[in-house]
Amino acid sequence: MSETAGTADPLVEVEDLAVHFPIRRGVVLDRTVGHVYAVDGVSLRVERGETYGLVGESGCGKSTLGRAVLRLEKPTSGRVVFDGVDLSAMKGEPLRRMRRRMQMVFQDPLSSLDPRQSVQSLLVEGMRAHGLDTDRAATDKRLRELLSSVGLPSTALRKYPHEFSGGQRQRIGIARALSVGPELVVADEPVSALDVSVQAQVLNLLADLQEEFRLTYLVIAHDLAVVRHIADRVGVMYLGGLVEESTSDELYAQPLHPYSKALLSAVPVPDPVVEDQREQILLSGDLPSPAAPPSGCRFHTRCPWRQPVRCDTERPVLRELRPGHRVACHYAEDIRDGRIEPHEVVAEAVHPADFGDVDITAPRSA
């Protein structure tokens, strides 16, 4: 975790961000019959120098949110403010110059590296695009320093991605992101494709690089153990929305949203005594379709604490229950204090006919 976190100096501010992908049908008449609500009204801040962890199930929209922050995906609505500059309206050359300050480390180091390029070519490409490759001697020195920073020898410059292990390829991906001197690095599942023994090495490397280059991280992951190890603050996403946000220590000690409780109860604990005594929450049913999200609280179809009417019809907003701890749940205090007991959730069968044109395009309840 970063020692400079908590300075209340936001580098990134996301305000009510939405990314909706159109669903198109027809060969001759290509018409939009609905939308996939990948990200739907997310607001968060990433402080300068901190590591913000974003967690959730596959398909919850966390990767799309990370790409939208970098303007790799165009937002449908909302704003992304980077260091006081609104990126939403930027395009062309001003956006290209701004992207030097924001870089991404991708999930799969094999597919994100061009197999036809040498490591030297991969690293120089970004530098050249931003006008940083003006002196050959200085560039060569920069490349060797980058490789040294990520724990690779200078001889790696002449090699190609297939000649490296998965952990080494991810180090090359990290070096490529750092080659242009960014301030923000979005790491999308940076260790999920790696062996467990290599994951800790890469995570420790990211922590060392953050201190060395004074970086700010947005780390996207589904592995809660990874996020706990590296993140200062954590945001939990479910079906396109942010349902809880807190410091890492506080979230893991006392999650307040039912979905966060379920996620953390699924994390294995090596102590069998603790494992037997802690609360186990098994979610019923599958993640609803982001093309037809439930009305009201998005989580109500799987929530053991669901209360009729309000949970089914009224979408909760993120509200601060404790300083720095935001939760999007109508009954978070009642659940925390034991005034509402959990009950069995019966998964509802979903038929293909339920996702016809009418249902997909029907207006959603707030």
| Nearest by Cα to 88 from 99, 76, 97, 80 | 80
CA atoms of 290 and 302, how far apart (whole Å): 15
Task: Decide: 331 and 315 in contact? Cβ < 8 Å.
Answer: no
Question: Sheet containing 233-238: which strands, arranged edge to edge?
Answer: 102-105, 184-188, 216-221, 51-55, 233-238, 241-247, 325-327, 319-322
CA atoms of 19 and 207, how far apart (whole Å): 30
- SS3 assignment, position 241: strand
pLDDT tens for each residue of the chain, 366 residues long: 655 444 567 999 999 999 999 998 877 667 888 999 999 999 999 999 999 999 998 889 999 999 999 999 999 999 999 999 999 888 888 998 999 999 999 988 788 899 999 999 999 999 999 988 888 899 999 999 999 999 999 999 999 999 999 899 999 999 999 999 999 999 999 988 788 888 889 999 999 999 999 999 999 998 888 898 899 999 999 999 999 999 999 999 999 999 999 888 877 666 555 545 556 777 777 788 999 999 999 999 999 999 999 999 999 999 999 999 999 999 999 999 999 988 888 765 544 444 444 444 344 443
Measured from the Cβ of residue 18, the count of other Cβ atoms closer than 10 Å reads 19
Tokens of 229: 């190890």
**Is the pTM here over 0.85, yes or no?**
yes
Task: Return all residues near 350 (Cβ < 8 A) that are at least 6 apart.
Answer: none
Please, how many CA atoms are within 13 Å of residue 221, restricted to the half-sphere of its CB? 24
